[in-house]
Amino acid sequence: MTDAELKQSCRQHLPGHRALSPAELFAAMGDWCQARDIAHDVYGSGTLIQEFEQKIARLLGFEAAVFCITGTMTQATALRIACAERGSKLVALHPTSHILKHERGNHQLFDHFHALQIGDPHRPWTLAELQGIPDKLGAVSLELPAREIGGQCPSWDQLEAIKAYGREQGIHLHMDGARLWETAAAYGRPVNEIAAGFDSVYVSLYKGVGGMGGAMLAGSAAFVAKAQEWFRRQGGNVYQRTPYVVAAAMQFDARLAAMPDYFKRTQWLYDVLREYPLLVPNPATPQANMLHLHLPVSRDRALEIRSRIAEQHSVWLFNGANHAALPERCSVELYIGDNLLHLPDQRVREILALWSDALAN
């Protein structure tokens, strides 16, 4: 049995939201479309997609927003345009940014921009580190929350200071807001207040939202229009975007409304984890409804434990695992969504006890 099949066979899951089968998802999408008399867009022109773009723009406090088929295309394009407008091809990126870790050198091979790493790999970069770059920057990217370091965020005062410095220096400030909605619950502030001061913001339509795929880029009307043209040039001019927009739009409001509950459940989980010292959370206190758990076993051993508990108890503990700096150590990610929100407290404790006992043996 493959990992995907084993995961699907489990009755209970700790991370994320319940994954609908294609049949369930398409049926729900069909019902939603029928109830609203939804028509297909044509190359991004249509009532549903354009109203959804405007909705995202309003929520984030920007003039405009545009759909893009992938976050990878969205961010590389946004930063390319920013650099062209500011007269410098240098972009400051955290060492764990998605662009550097997961995009196979696209920014370099396509000559979008040149990357400068900023900050320590294990924490968010700071204003002092930005000020320490002597070169003229075209743009700087800030991920809120930073997934690869457990969902960490800069403090609110630090974030405001970074925004002010970007304005003073004429640097385009871009937000990798793939999980921005989660950050709003953690900061206790509306997303437009968090996004204020950024020149562009990317949000995902499938991560916390639970859609099929796709992204939105928000910014000024002129900036978004340039991005839309560059998406076309790169093959992103998808004929009909309806499936991606429907899959996100039909659950968007409910997901955003649930974000405070996901964060409260994350806070509760942190309290419970004190009873299981072999499961060490990072960050030390929750900054979004996601975290990393550092385990006292190798990556291979962690995956073995996950598979055994799945087979014997029909419980899925986590998805992937990463090697740690120290030998016989690893870390795993937990995104707190509907699954853990709706598991009874006692059942969560039983699952954590199973996991902890396996780690100890």
Q: pLDDT in tens for each of the 361 residues of the chain?
A: 899 999 999 999 999 999 899 999 999 999 999 999 999 999 999 999 999 999 999 999 999 999 999 999 999 999 999 999 999 999 999 999 999 999 999 999 899 999 999 999 999 999 999 999 999 999 999 999 999 999 999 999 999 999 999 999 999 999 999 999 999 988 999 999 999 999 999 999 999 999 999 999 999 999 999 999 999 999 999 999 999 999 999 999 999 999 999 999 999 999 999 999 999 999 999 999 999 999 999 999 999 999 999 999 999 999 999 999 999 999 999 999 999 999 999 999 999 999 999 999 8
Indicate if 7 and 140 belong to the same structural domain.
no
Indicate if 128 and 261 belong to the same structural domain.
no
**pLDDT for res 1:** 82
Task: Let me know if residue 208 belongs to a domain.
Answer: yes
CB 76 within 8 A of CB 107: yes
Task: Let me know if residue 24 belongs to a domain.
Answer: no
Indicate if 203 and 279 belong to the same structural domain.
no
Burial class for 201, CB neighbours closer than 10 Å (0-12, 13-18, 19+): buried
Burial code (b: 16+ CB inside 10 Å, e: under 16) for 6-17 equals ebeebebbbbbb
Give the CA distances from residue 88 to residues 76, 84, 112, 135, 299, in Å, rounded to whole numbers and listed in that order: 15, 7, 11, 9, 41
Residue type present at position 181: W
Task: Let me know if residue 247 belongs to a domain.
Answer: no
311: CB partners within 8 A, 6+ apart: 6
- In order, the DSSP letters of 213-244 are S-EEEEE-HHHHHHHHHHHHHTT---S--HHH
127, containing H or E segment = helix 127-131
Structural domain including 264 reads 3-19+253-360
293, containing H or E segment = strand 290-295
Separation CA 219–CA 198 (nearest Å): 8
**How many structural domains is the chain composed of?**
2
Indicate if 214 and 259 belong to the same structural domain.
no
CB 131 within 8 A of CB 162: no
Indicate if 132 and 218 belong to the same structural domain.
yes
Q: Per the structure block, which two tokens stand in for 116?
A: 């400068």
Nearest to 76 by CA among 56, 97, 61, 60: 97
Cis peptide before 296 (omega within 30 of 0): no
Phi and psi, residue 222, nearest 5° = -65, -40
Indicate if 272 and 206 belong to the same structural domain.
no
- Tracing tokens 């955003």 back to the chain, one arrives at 256
Indicate if 112 and 63 belong to the same structural domain.
yes
Indicate if 259 and 229 belong to the same structural domain.
no
CA-based R_g, the chain, Å: 21
Task: Let me know if residue 216 belongs to a domain.
Answer: yes
CB 173 within 8 A of CB 198: yes
**pLDDT for res 107:** 93
The CATH number covering residue 294 comes to 3.90.1150.10
Listed residues 209, 240, 271: the one ending a domain: 240
**pLDDT for res 257:** 96
Separation CA 77–CA 67 (nearest Å): 13
Task: Let me know if residue 320 belongs to a domain.
Answer: yes
Burial code (b: 16+ CB inside 10 Å, e: under 16) for 128-149 equals eebeeeeeebbbbbbbbbbbbb
Separation CA 208–CA 12 (nearest Å): 19
Task: Let me know if residue 33 belongs to a domain.
Answer: no
Indicate if 341 and 304 belong to the same structural domain.
yes
CB 29 within 8 A of CB 36: no
Indicate if 217 and 349 belong to the same structural domain.
no
Nearest to 126 by CA among 101, 107, 146, 99: 146
Indicate if 67 and 11 belong to the same structural domain.
no
For 149-252, where are the E strands, in sequence order? Answer: 172-176, 200-204, 215-219
Listed residues 194, 211, 240: the one ending a domain: 240
Q: Per the structure block, which two tokens stand in for 119?
A: 């900050």
The CATH number covering residue 96 comes to 3.40.640.10
Indicate if 148 and 208 belong to the same structural domain.
yes
Listed residues 240, 271, 297: the one ending a domain: 240
Task: Let me know if residue 245 belongs to a domain.
Answer: no
- Tracing tokens 């790999």 back to the chain, one arrives at 121
Task: Let me know if residue 27 belongs to a domain.
Answer: no
